[in-house]
């Protein structure tokens, strides 16, 4: 809830900023979440994990549930279709240290939707209500919901979903301004997000295509939302949270980060990835982050190609020196 002092709260948690990192499977692992928190993200959620606890024994699932050393509040996102399974998954995550349970009804991915989970659930409002009520009743920590504006452009039932979520005791909503049928195409629309915000008293966060400080401010103004979530624009630019926070506070744009600083961020990020995943997987995960960092700068085509073929942590670290000053002068794209 937004308190009288203006601070944004979810349950007992006072959030340091109203600009959050959107959960992204394969991206928002613990090293990336901690990096974004350091740059001022007010809240970061884990990559979605299945509510089916039988799937939790794989190394991938175990890593997704690893929140060691993360600052509070630790948010775990679960996805599923069965109320009892979802409740059990929520309970077990809280026992393991989750301080907020986020329910994913926003993911359009086929393997989730085939089982009527993620955003496919929006077709069945009674089931949505049962899931939310059961999960809220199963845990003592706040439960939040991340969803889309509706099932398809002809069925934007986001307002009804928001109301039933509030009635079920959900404490905050994040709304991606697309329907499930939109997948990631077209521009996110924020009129429905505004209607959702106006229909409930719990905090609502707008999400979708927010990629600059100016856009962040425009979406906050257009939707009246309490906060915003940034996903893809944080890839290769985790400092976007600082840029947006600064702009919202001062109405001024931060200067571009100096090249040395960017390199330090990349180096520390790589070290965290190798430590978290081990060298072999760490190199693979690092590769995509390196490409994203390069995409922020012009003149990095050959470096990008180089990163694609490097096989070891040592080679990746050494290649960071090839990120040259001339790139910085050409500036970010």
Per CB under 6 A, 227 contacts ligand FMN: no
Residues listed for the chain: 333
Cβ neighbours of residue 278 under 8 Å, at least 6 residues apart?
none
- 59 counts as binding ligand FMN under rule CB under 6 A: no
Given 128, 210, 257, 285, the residue binding ligand FMN (CB under 6 A): 210
Beta strands in 160-259 (DSSP E): 172-179, 204-207, 227-230
For ligand FMN, which residue of 27, 100, 120, 303 counts as binding (CB under 6 A)?
Answer: 27
- CA dist., res. 57 & res. 95, Å (int): 17
Give the shortest CB-31-to-ligand FMN separation in angstroms. Answer: 16
138 CA to centre of own chain: 24
Among 33, 67, 146, 156, binds ligand FMN (CB under 6 A): 146
Per the annotation, the verdict on 113 as an active-site residue is no
User: Of 26 and 331, which has the nearer Cβ to ligand FMN?
Assistant: 26
Helices (H) and strands (E) in the chain, counts: 14, 10
Q: List, as one string, the DSSP characters of 119-182.
A: GGGGG-HHHHHHHHHHHHHH-SS-EEEEEEEESBTTB--HHHHHHHHHHHT--EEEEEEEETTT
Catalytic member of 36, 107, 225, 294: 107
Q: How far is the CB of 102 from ligand FMN (least distance, A)?
A: 8
Letters for 156-195 (x = contact with ligand FMN by CB under 6 A, - = none) are --------------------x-------------------
By CB under 6 A, is residue 87 in contact with ligand FMN?
no
Smallest separation, CB 326 to ligand FMN (Å): 30
Q: Is residue 202 involved in binding ligand FMN (CB under 6 A)? A: no
Q: 140: how many CB neighbours lie within 10 A of its CB?
A: 7
Q: Which are the catalytic amino acids?
A: 107
């Amino acid at each position: 809830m937004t308190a009288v002092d203006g601070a944004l709260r979810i349950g007992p948690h006072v959030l340091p900023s109203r600009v959050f990192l959107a959960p992204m499977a394969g991206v928002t692992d613990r090293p990336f979440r901690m990096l974004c928190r350091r740059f001022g993200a007010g809240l970061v959620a884990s990559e979605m994990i299945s509510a089916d606890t039988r799937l939790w024994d794989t190394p991938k699932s175990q890593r997704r549930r690893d929140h060691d050393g993360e600052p509070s509040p630790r948010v775990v996102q679960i996805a599923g279709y069965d109320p009892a399974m979802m409740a059990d998954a929520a309970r077990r995550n809280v026992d393991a240290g989750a301080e907020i349970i986020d329910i994913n009804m926003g993911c359009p991915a086929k393997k989730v939707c085939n089982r009527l989970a993620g955003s496919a659930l929006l077709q069945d409002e009674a089931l949505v209500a049962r899931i939310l009520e059961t999960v809220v009743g199963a845990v003592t920590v706040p439960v939040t919901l991340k969803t889309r504006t509706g099932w398809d452009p002809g069925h934007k039932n986001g307002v009804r979903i928001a109301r039933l979520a509030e009635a079920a005791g959900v404490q905050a909503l994040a709304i991606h301004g697309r329907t499930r049928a939109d997948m990631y195409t077209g521009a996110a629309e924020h009129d429905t997000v505004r209607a959702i915000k106006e229909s409930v008293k719990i905090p609502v966060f707008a999400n979708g295509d927010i990629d600059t400080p100016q856009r962040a401010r425009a979406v906050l103004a257009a939707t009246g939302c309490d906060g915003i979530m940034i996903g893809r624009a944080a890839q290769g630019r985790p400092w976007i949270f600082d840029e947006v926070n600064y702009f919202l506070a001062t109405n001024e744009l931060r200067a571009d980060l100096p090249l040395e600083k960017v390199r330090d961020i990349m180096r520390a990020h790589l070290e965290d990835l190798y430590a978290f995943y081990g060298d072999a997987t760490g190199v693979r995960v690092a590769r995509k982050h390196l490409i994203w960092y390069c995409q922020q700068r012009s003149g990095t085509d050959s470096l990008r190609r180089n990163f694609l073929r490097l096989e070891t942590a040592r080679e990746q670290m050494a290649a960071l020196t090839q990120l040259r000053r001339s790139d910085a002068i050409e500036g970010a794209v």
